[in-house]
Amino acid sequence: MTAAPRTAAPAAVRAPSVDAVTPAPGRSARPCRGRRVLRLVSPVVLLAAWEAAARTGLLPPEKLPAPSEVLRTGWRLAADGTLVVHLLESLQRAAIGLAVGGGLALLLGAVAGLLRIGDDLVDPPVQMARMLPHLGLVPLLIIWVGIGEELKITLVALGSFFPIYFNTYAGIRDIDERLVEAARTCGLGQLARLWHVVLPGALPSLFLGLRLAIGAAWLSLVVGEQVNAQTGIGFLMMEAREFAQTDVVLLGLLVYALLGLLSDLLLRIAERRTLSWRRGLKAT
């Protein structure tokens, strides 16, 4: 026989499952230059067609103003400081919600992943709550916490909780038991094993959870800020709708999209730096 039965199983599952869900860094089939140019053609054509249709009056400006018009509005609102004020407000809500929801998820996910009693007590209710679409909770949350800041932050926290909880849990559970054992034979105590084996082993999953959570946080924010907000990008959009300023509505959408894109990009850079050992894994 080779190894005791209960230690043998989890090993094979580890690496491929993580690799499969993390795209980008080592994508081998990066399109060559010619293809990259080709892939730019259709977006540019669409944008040009939109601009032309708006300018010739084919698209009524109250339905869909020209992209140049949206950019001009963006410039104007950025110049007079309005955009920055609302942007900061939205960012603050996202950050607080993410910190509350993500922190709680990290704690509960670690308790459920590391301790059998934690698994038995924490995981079942979380699994049940997962089935509730958290954006559908808005009416109930309005009754519970009102329509103020608490609502927006609660929504963001709820949205970011589940991806981080599940990926923390899975990241800890997927750690190769044989590595933990090897660390034990090297004289590492429980805390040292957590620090040297469990945490780095779960880190790829944690990053994945954080990326999904940030996506969920923006989505929750979009919905939350449409309920009685006095500030924020969502408020800007709702107010613009009342005055039929379609260009501002579009600008709000653009800002939301850019926020999502930028946060994902930053996180991916952080991930690549932290998980540089996985590049070696791909090189072989």
Partner 1 sequence: MATRTEGDLSSVLTAGGVRRSFGAAVVLDGVDLTIAPGEVVALLGGSGSGKSTLLRILAGLDPDAAGTVHRPPHQAVVFQEHRLLPWKRVIDNVALGLTGPDVRARARAALAEVGLPDRDSAWPAELSGGQAQRVAVARALVREPELLLLDEPFGALDALTRLRMQQLFIRLRAQHGFAALLVTHDVDEALLLADRTLVLEGGRLVEDAPVPLTHPRTPDDPGFGALRRRLLDRLGVAA
Residues contributing to the site for partner 1 (CB under 8 A) = 1-5, 178-179, 181-188, 192, 196-197, 200-201, 203, 275, 277-278, 280-281, 283-284
* Residue whose tokens read 């199983």: 9
Smallest separation, CB 133 to partner 1 (Å): 36
Smallest separation, CB 163 to partner 1 (Å): 22
Three state DSSP letters for 63-127: CCCCHHHHHHHHHHHHHCCHHHHHHHHHHHHHHHHHHHHHHHHHHHHHHHHHCHHHHHHHHHHHH
The smaller minimum CB distance to partner 1, of residues 17 and 82, is found at 17
DSSP element (H, E) containing 281: helix 277-283
The smaller minimum CB distance to partner 1, of residues 176 and 239, is found at 176
The smaller minimum CB distance to partner 1, of residues 196 and 241, is found at 196
List the structure tokens of 41: 């053609």
CA atoms within 13 A on the CB side of 151: 23
The smaller minimum CB distance to partner 1, of residues 199 and 223, is found at 199
Smallest separation, CB 244 to partner 1 (Å): 55
CA atoms within 13 A on the CB side of 275: 25
Smallest separation, CB 277 to partner 1 (Å): 5
Smallest separation, CB 119 to partner 1 (Å): 20
The smaller minimum CB distance to partner 1, of residues 12 and 49, is found at 12
